[in-house]
Amino acid sequence: MSELQALLARFEGLCPPSASLPPFVAQAGEGGPFHVVLCCMTHGDETGSLPAAIALLESLQKGTRRFAGRLSVVLGNPPAARLGRRFGQADLNRVFLPGPPSWERSRAAELMPLLDQADLVVDLHQTIEATAQPFHIHPWSPVLEQWAQVLQGAQDWVTRPMGESFATGTCCLDEYVRDQGKAALTIELSQKGMRPQTTALALAVMDRALDAAEAILSGSDLGNMTSGATKMRLWRTSHKQPYASAELRLRAGLRNFEPVQAGELLSAPGTSELRAPCPGVLLFPKYPPRDAAGQIDGPLPVDIFRVLTPLRQHPLALGWPTGAP
């Protein structure tokens, strides 16, 4: 049995059979009125947070850690994980809305009632390519900024005004939760895969989420927990380069948060020229797998890279909406 199969079996052992819960959802805690939902493997091959989820649940089960609130831990897409894939029929992180049927659309539908009862959702992802550092990726609001500072999962935050969609016509898991007026954050922990640093970071974020929830349950204010916290570095997507044709290729070795200069050549030698249109850092450079003939297997990604630039001023100064969550 592979390490992943063994961990999935261990996680399943932590999910007592329940008529009211979907599969691959574990619950713990003493049931106080603050519900933390931690999501792992919303993309099947982003398995890095799984060992942390199991460690947290086991410590709660053994009683070496306690939590006065209610905790749910969701493994989003174990069938895709078993195949080593991001998803099976549809990207689970795009289908939290009505649309054509797929395994993932049904999974989203069965998770919605649970997400509807959440007070805080933390969706733990990993990037496809290497990343120089972990980062948040979701819209800005004062409450989400406070949570990001409390969780300390990353100092960098790729953000946008609330109400601006990540991908038009789709709905991500965290977007669905925010649409219900609840706090939901997405953190990209590291490049995909299980590694000790990722486990440690995921576990630290999970622990801080529970500690903060418990503090709220005993009457503390989230805002007071952020005094002295490190400021977030906020980034805005300034450019998305369309993956206009399959022959486009990036030069080797570009990673997330790679600094680029205006005009810098980003294409592989001998392929159509791609240059950074402005200075900044790269996000989501794409190297889709190709067969021996160089053909890309499956649909082309929407963009081949994005360029982030630092937000010039704090969102409050820029007049971004401050509504809940």
Question: Dihedral sign, CA of 48, 3, 21, 104?
Answer: positive
Q: What angle do CA 214, 220, 225 make, to 5 degrees?
A: 90
Smallest gap from Cβ 27 to Zn ion, in A, equals 23
Nearer to Zn ion, 86 or 105 (CB): 86
Which lies closer to Zn ion via its Cβ, residue 42 or residue 241? Answer: 42
Q: How far is the CB of 275 from Zn ion (least distance, A)?
A: 28
CB of residue 220 vs Zn ion: minimum separation in angstroms? Answer: 32
User: By three-state DSSP, how is residue 304 classified?
Assistant: strand
As measured in angstroms, the least distance from the Cβ of 93 to Zn ion is 6
Q: How far is the CB of 46 from Zn ion (least distance, A)?
A: 5
Widest CA span of the chain, in angstroms? 62
Could you list the residues that contact Zn ion (CB under 5 A)? 43, 46, 125
Q: Integer distance in angstroms from the first to the last C-alpha of the chain?
A: 43
Q: Which is nearer to Zn ion, 46 or 258 (CB)?
A: 46
- With H, G, I as helix, E, B as strand and everything else as coil, classify residue 285: coil
| Cβ-proximal residue to Zn ion, closest one | 125
Cα–Cα distance measured from residue 177 to residue 190, given in angstroms and rounded to the nearest whole number: 23
**Under a CB-based contact definition with an 8 Å cutoff, are residues 183 and 120 in contact?**
yes
Hunting for tokens 């810098």 — which residue is that?
264
CB of 217 to Zn ion, least distance (A): 30
Q: Which is nearer to Zn ion, 87 or 140 (CB)?
A: 87
> 21-58 in b/e burial notation, b at 16+ Cβ within 10 A?
bbebbbbbbeeeebbbbbbbbbbbbbbbbbbbbbbbbb
Question: To which residue do tokens 């022959």 refer?
Answer: 247
Nearer to Zn ion, 184 or 216 (CB): 184
Nearer to Zn ion, 34 or 87 (CB): 87
